[in-house]
Structure 1
Amino acid sequence: MNTPFSSKTSRIALAMLAAVGFVALGFFSYPALQVVPATPVAPPPQRVTTEGGLTIVTLDETTQTISGIQSEAITASKHPVEHLAYGSVLDVQGLNDLSTRYYLAQADSAAAQSAASATGQEYERNLALFKANQSVSLKVLQASQAAWMTDKTKLQAAAANIQSVRNSALQQFGAPLAGMIGAQDAPLLHRLLSREEMLLRIVLPLGVDLAAPEQIAVESSEHRQEQAHLISASPQVDTSTEGRAYLYRAAATLPVGSKVAAYLALPAPASTSLLIPEAAILWFGGQPWAYVQIAKDRFTRRPVADQTPYNDGYLVSTGFDSGDRVVVHGAQLLLSEEQRPPITASACKDPECDD
């Protein structure tokens, strides 16, 4: 006999079997799900490429405008021929010491002069009295004479000391600077001793038939350029170089001992060369470079070899052609782009690609 409970249980069981059947039917009826392949991603465009041994930086015109990259054309023209010489910044402590010694020697000379004058007058008075009436003893006369002779000897020694200081100054720094020691008005000496100006020794190499120019351009290893003015021939030379040495003065910008290069105009016909603006010069690896725009969106870096400073720029005769456009603003940005590691991208965007 069926009870209500068993009937209800049977209906639930039939419903569950039906549900299982539908699921099974759907499983066997639909095709298996297909795995969608990952969508490949195009690699980012390379801004730095190598073509024919040249490194090329490619930047579109919009990027150039945003970055402030500008270039200008260079043209060939005639410029005076210059010769390269070398020198260094001298220590003026010796000049200061000589100046101090001179003033001390002058003080000693003045004191000796005063003493000799006094003892000389005393001796003359005693001599007159001795000759007149013998009121002064011979012993007193001889003592006053000895004192006078001693003071005269001190005066001579003081004068010799002054001359010794002058001779030392002549041997070390030449006549013009030596003549300024002890002078009442010597503004150049004051500027040198106060480091308002620096003293340079420039050596013209042997075999160069050229008088020392009154004005030259000098450049240090820090690529700082100054105008220097001739003082005189140098009585001393640098033992590491051979040639005629000259003393120059320039605004004090370099420490003592700094090496400098000097550019001297030669009495020769002007040569044709290209002027690279200083704004285009980029120092990298201890060497000057300049970026040349070889197309609207392409730049390459070239070494600035055999350069000669000239009017806020560098004269070159090789490596560049008339009409080349050199980058005068933004060269450092191009170098940063060139030195940046290459950009890489994954082949797909699916997270499973990272597994």
Structure 2
Amino acid sequence: MSTLGKRLLFAIIPTTAALGAWGWLSYQPAPSLASPAPAPTSRVSSESGLTIVTLDDATQNRSGIETDALVATKRQAEQTAYGSVLDLQPLIDLQARYRAAAAEVASARAALDVSAQEAERNRVLFHDHINISQKTMQAAQAAWSADQAKLQSAEANLEGVRASAQQQFGSQLASLVAGKNTALAGLLEGQDMMLRIVVPVDDSTLIPQQISFDGGARGRVAARLVSASPQSDPIAEGPTFLYRAPASLPVGSKVIAFLPTGQQQGSGVVIPRTAVLWFGGQPWAYVQQGKNRFVRRLVDDQSPHDGGYFVEGGFGAGDRVVTRGAQLLLSEEQRPPVTAAAACKDPECDD
């Protein structure tokens, strides 16, 4: 092949390759446009003014949501009262003062016995003209008189401690100071506590011998009447009474007490304490409707009862309340609604 032929051949080969590549590109299918993402399904809806949270079985299992059925129950009609846990440290201090004063009385009485005998012996010796001076006799009588005054002072101090205890705590608790009431000894040992309850009574109402109060995590705790209180409670006005109960609350704690009224029993249900959650300063509970729907209801006019809250309205026997996972449902309910644009993370969703 001539030199000219070779040059023509090398010039044709690149041109043919370029044309082939252009043809292959021209026949490639155009990339398909991304289909729009489906709009996310919201778990929260509203029906008849109620907010419904819908969770499928898988989500409920992953979240550990559990429910319990409410059971109809009856409760003794009650009246609410208020009070506080009494500080018994002053009573303990008075007991220590009483014991010290009683020891002083015993010591003064013993000294008086000795001085009385000495004064009488010297008096007899002087009048029998025994070798004893009048001055010695008079000194013995003076010592006797001084010991009498010391005894009177010690007895007055002892009586003052007893009167102070009775004025502050009443006769029943004051008897503890003198160690004469073993039935209430558990109070000073910290096993029991004393409640000061303002009882809303009138002339026809009997003071209940036993009441109950909200003991927090322990639920309802019973308390028995000790006596009327000689001092009023600072949080409320009215007749005040002292009730003894097992130690369960710190000193100074405010107490909600429940007084039986003797009226007809009320009917309702007890919502477990684990089902109640607080939102917006109010107690709520979630009720399961159907298989996958949950609605939040207000726990209104409730009172502690049997480890939960007794209500006469808003809930019925057979309702299933969420006892575990209620906070998760509330979080789901309060979550901002998710839109299709918010759900799409592709920048092309903004076009």
TM-score with structure 2 setting the length = 0.88
Q: Does 1:176 align with 2:176?
A: no
Structure 2 counterpart of 1:98, one-letter code: L
TM-superposed CA distance for 1:322, in Å, is: 4.1
Q: Does 1:6 align with 2:4?
A: yes
**Match in the other structure for 1:268:** 263
The one-letter amino acid paired with 1:161 is: N
Q: Please give the secondary structure, in 2, of the residue aligned with 1:118.
A: helix
Offset, 1:297? 1.0
Count of paired positions: 350
Cα RMSD over matched residues? 2.9
Deviations 1:145-180 (A, max 9, x none): 111011111111111111111111111111111112
Residue 119 of structure 1 is matched in structure 2 by 115
Q: Is contact 1:38-1:349 (8 Å) kept? A: no
User: 1:133 is paired with a residue of what secondary structure?
Assistant: coil
Using the TM superposition, give the Cα deviation of residue 274 of structure 1 relative to its aligned residue in structure 2, in angstroms: 2.9
Decide whether aligned partners of structure 1 residues 350 and 237 sit closer, same or farther in structure 2, where only a CA change above 3 A counts.
closer
Separation (CA, whole Å) in 1 of partners of 2:23 and 2:291: 67
How many angstroms does 1:102 deviate by?
A: 0.1
Report the Cα offset of residue 332 of structure 1.
Answer: 3.4
Please state if 1:90 is matched with 2:86.
yes
* Fraction of identical pairs, as percent: 49
From the superposition, tell whether residues 24 and 224 of structure 1 become closer, same or farther in structure 2 (CA, over 3 Å).
closer
Question: How do residues 206-217 of structure 1 correspond to structure 2 at under 5 angstroms?
Answer: 206-207=201-202, 209-217=204-212
Work out the CA distance in 2 between the residues paired with 1:60 and 1:80.
Answer: 41
Moved more, 293-302 or 312-321: 312-321
Residue 99 (str. 1) matches residue 95 (str. 2): yes
Which amino acid in 1 is paired with 2:210? Answer: Q
Which among 146, 158, 165 is matched to residue 162 of structure 1? 158
Partner of 1:327 in structure 2?
322
- Say yes or no: does 1:130 pair with 2:113: no
Residue 303 (structure 1) aligns with: 298
Change (3 A) 1:207 1:294: farther
Q: Measure, in 1, the Cα distance between the counterparts of 2:64 and 2:323.
A: 10
The match for 1:199 among 177, 187, 194 is 194
Aligned residue for 2:276?
A: 281
Residues in 2 aligned to 1:197 and 1:113: alpha-carbon distance in whole angstroms? 37
Residues 24-79 of structure 1: per-residue CA shift (max 9 Å, x gap): 6667xx57854522122223322222333222111223443454434344354442
**Structure 2 counterpart of 1:125, one-letter code:** R
**Paired position in structure 2 for 1:290:** 285
CA distance 1:8–1:314, shift in 2 (3 Å) = same
Which residue of the partner structure matches residue 69 of structure 1? Answer: 65
Find the aligned partners of 2:3 and 2:114 in 1 and give their Cα distance. 155
Distance 1:210 1:329, change over 3 A: farther
1:299-344 per-residue CA deviation (whole Å, 9 max, x = no partner) reads 1111111112222232212322344332234333433433445455
SS in 2 for 1:250: strand
Provide closer, same or farther for how the CA distance between residues 301 and 350 of structure 1 changes in structure 2, counting only shifts above 3 A.
Answer: closer
The secondary structure found in structure 2 opposite 1:268 is coil
Q: Distance in 2 between matches of 1:348 and 1:174?
A: 74
Match of 2:54 in 1: 58
Aligned to 1:48: 44
Report the CA distance between 1:185 and its aligned residue: 6.8
Question: How far apart, CA to CA, are the structure 1 residues paired with 2:296 and 2:54?
Answer: 12
Alignment deviations for residues 188-237 of structure 1 (CA, whole Å, 9 cap, x no partner): 33x33343322210111254843332322212677854322222111111
Q: Please, which runs of 5 or more residues in structure 2 have no aligned partner? A: none
* Higher deviation after alignment, 290-299 or 43-52: 43-52
Runs of at least 5 residues in structure 1 that lack an aligned partner in the other structure: none
Contact 1:220 1:259 in 2 (8 A): no
Partner of 1:147: 143
Distance 2:23 2:285 in 1: 76
Shift of 1:354: 7.4
Q: Is the 8 A contact 2:45 2:53 kept in 1?
A: yes
Equivalence for 2:13: 15
CA distance in 2 between partners of 1:292 and 1:20 (Å): 73
Supply the AA of the counterpart residue of 1:61: D
CA positional deviation for 1:285: 4.0
Contact preservation (8 Å) 1:205, 1:242: no
TM-score normalised by structure 1 residue count: 0.87
How big is each residue's C-alpha offset from its partner over 1:86-134, in whole Å with a ceiling of 9 and x where there is no partner?
0011111110110011011011111101110110000010111111125
